Structures are given as structure tokens and as C-alpha cells.
């Protein structure tokens, strides 16, 4: 009950601070699938997965049985992240998105599937960011300053999937990583960007990564703290594949 009350207060505070100037009286849906090269959907999957990991750890700490902790953690993560759609649904600038909710469900399902089928996470979603020239073109949407840009500028965000292949002999702490990103976007839709002579494109990146879960330590505290940096993809050499061809980056972040 206490956690539910705290969550409700936090959501009300978020709604008042972020959405109140845009609130309208009727709830509505909005088709945002053609926007931002679908990177916002990849972001929803990423955040739901990571919140599910944290929530499940809390349930384990509370001595909840493993499979129940996993399912409860995933359901809690889905509910928390999807709750934002309520505010979007009452906003004049947005609208509730069925596709966002579907992406949240995919993130929760990816966590549950790996946890129950393999008993561990083999494909680990990660995130990286680099500043771009696009955010200053429209800072009210893409962010004004580095912290806002990390959250809002899809041009600089890359969402990764870090994993190992059993037939490639790598140390346990070294993994392969496949990333998805995009650039050329100051508006959500392709036609809007092309009207200002920008050409949105999706990028795929191949790289290597570090898995900090394999750092050897007897400290439970250190193991817990290593979770936070382990959601960040480390800078590394990478191959980028896009409509412009293949490019090599000596260090990509």
C-alpha cells in the first residue's frame, strides 16, 4: 500500500510538472509508429527491461520465490513505464500510444523469457549516447544541455544488445554487441525532416562490450553497484551500417 501511494504521488507530480500545460479533458490515442525511426519504441523496451531487473531484485531481497519474483518484477515494470501513457493520453501535444504499450510488453516479456527459460540473462540491453549537431536545432524537443539531450535526442542515442556466442572463444567478461540508432531527425516524421532538408536514417552498429557481471568480488554491495554501469555500453571500435554504406569507428559511443 505504501509503495502504491508513493508511486501515485510521483506520477501526479510528474503529470503536474511535465504535462499540466498540455492537459485536455478527453483521453485520446495517437499513432506515433512512423516517428523517430521507431527508436522511441526501442527505448520503451529498454527501460521496461531494466526496471524489471531492478524490481525483481527487490522481490528477491524480500525473499519472494524466484519465478514469482520474476513475474511480479516484470508486471511492476510494465505498469510503471506504461503509466506514462495516461498522461500522454490527456496531452494536446501527444496521445496514448498502443505501440508504446506493446514495446513495454515486449521489454517485460524479454526479461521474463530469459529469466525463466535460461535462468539467467544472456542478451543484455544497454545504452550509449554521444552529443549531436541536431539537438541545438530544436532544443525544446531534443533537449537543452547534455542531461536533457541524453534523455531526448534520439540522434545521439544507441540501444544495444550485448551477448555471447558459444562458438566464438571470448573471455566471459567480453561480449559481442549489436546496436540500433538513427540520425537526421529534429522532427518525428520523415516528411517533416525532409521539408527542412534533413534525411532521417536508421543505423546498425556492430561492436564488442564488457559484461561487468563477471567481475570477481565477494562483496554483495559491489555486485549491486556494478549493475548501474553495466547498463551502459562501453566505448569500443565499431562497424556502422546505414544507407550511406559501412563505416569504421575507432571508438564509438
Which of 71, 91, 120 is the last residue in one of the domains?
A: 120
CA distance 248 to 234: 16
Q: Give the Cβ contact number of residue 37 at 10 Å.
A: 23
pLDDT tens figures, 8-48: 555 555 555 455 555 565 788 889 999 999 999 999 999 99
Residue 98 and residue 167 in one domain: no
DSSP letter string over 17-49? Answer: IIIGGGB-SS--B---TTSGGGHHHHHHHHHHH
Residue 150 and residue 237 in one domain: yes
Q: What is the Cα 159 distance to its own chain's centre?
A: 7
Residue 134 and residue 241 in one domain: yes
Give Cβ neighbours of residue 85 (< 8 Å, ≥ 6 apart). 96, 97, 100, 101
pTM, 2 dp? 0.88
**Looking at residue 10, what is its pLDDT?**
52
Q: Give the Cβ contact number of residue 85 at 10 Å.
A: 20
pLDDT over 60 (residue 253): yes
pLDDT tens figures, 110-129: 999 999 999 999 999 999 99
pLDDT, averaged across the chain: 88
Question: Which residues is 161 bridged to in the sheet?
Answer: 125, 178
Lowest mean pLDDT among 1-10, 84-93, 162-171: 1-10
Number of domains the chain contains: 2
Which of 120, 155, 173 is the last residue in one of the domains?
A: 120
**Domain residues for 252?**
122-253
Which of 71, 92, 120 is the last residue in one of the domains?
A: 120
Amino acid at each position: 500500500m505504501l509503495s502504491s501511494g508513493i508511486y501515485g504521488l510521483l506520477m501526479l507530480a510528474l503529470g503536474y510538472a511535465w504535462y499540466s500545460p498540455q492537459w485536455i479533458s478527453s483521453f485520446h490515442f495517437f499513432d506515433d509508429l512512423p516517428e523517430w525511426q521507431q527508436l522511441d519504441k526501442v527505448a520503451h523496451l529498454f527501460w521496461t527491461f531494466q526496471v524489471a531487473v531492478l524490481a525483481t531484485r527487490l522481490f528477491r531481497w524480500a525473499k519472494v520465490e524466484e519465478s514469482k519474483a520474476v513475474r511480479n518484477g516484470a508486471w511492476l515494470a510494465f505498469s510503471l513505464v506504461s503509466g506514462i501513457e495516461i498522461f500522454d493520453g490527456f496531452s494536446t501535444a501527444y496521445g496514448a500510444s498502443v505501440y508504446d504499450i506493446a514495446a513495454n510488453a515486449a521489454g517485460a516479456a524479454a526479461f521474463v523469457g530469459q529469466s525463466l527459460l535460461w535462468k539467467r540473462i544472456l542478451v543484455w540491453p544497454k545504452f550509449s549516447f554521444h552529443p549531436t549537431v541536431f539537438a541545438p536545432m530544436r532544443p525544446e524537443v531534443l533537449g537543452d544541455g547534455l542531461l536533457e539531450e541524453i534523455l531526448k535526442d534520439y540522434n545521439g542515442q544507441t540501444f544495444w544488445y550485448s551477448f555471447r556466442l558459444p562458438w566464438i572463444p571470448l573471455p566471459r567478461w567480453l561480449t559481442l554487441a549489436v546496436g540500433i540508432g538513427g540520425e537526421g531527425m529534429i522532427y518525428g516524421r520523415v516528411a517533416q525532416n525532409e521539408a527542412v532538408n534533413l534525411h532521417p536514417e536508421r543505423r546498425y552498429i556492430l561492436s564488442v562490450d564488457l559484461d561487468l557481471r563477471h567481475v570477481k568480488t565477494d562483496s554483495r554491495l559491489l555486485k549491486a553497484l556494478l549493475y548501474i554501469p553495466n547498463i551502459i555500453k562501453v566505448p569500443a571500435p565499431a562497424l556502422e551500417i546505414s544507407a550511406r554504406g559501412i563505416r569504421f569507428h575507432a571508438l564509438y559511443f
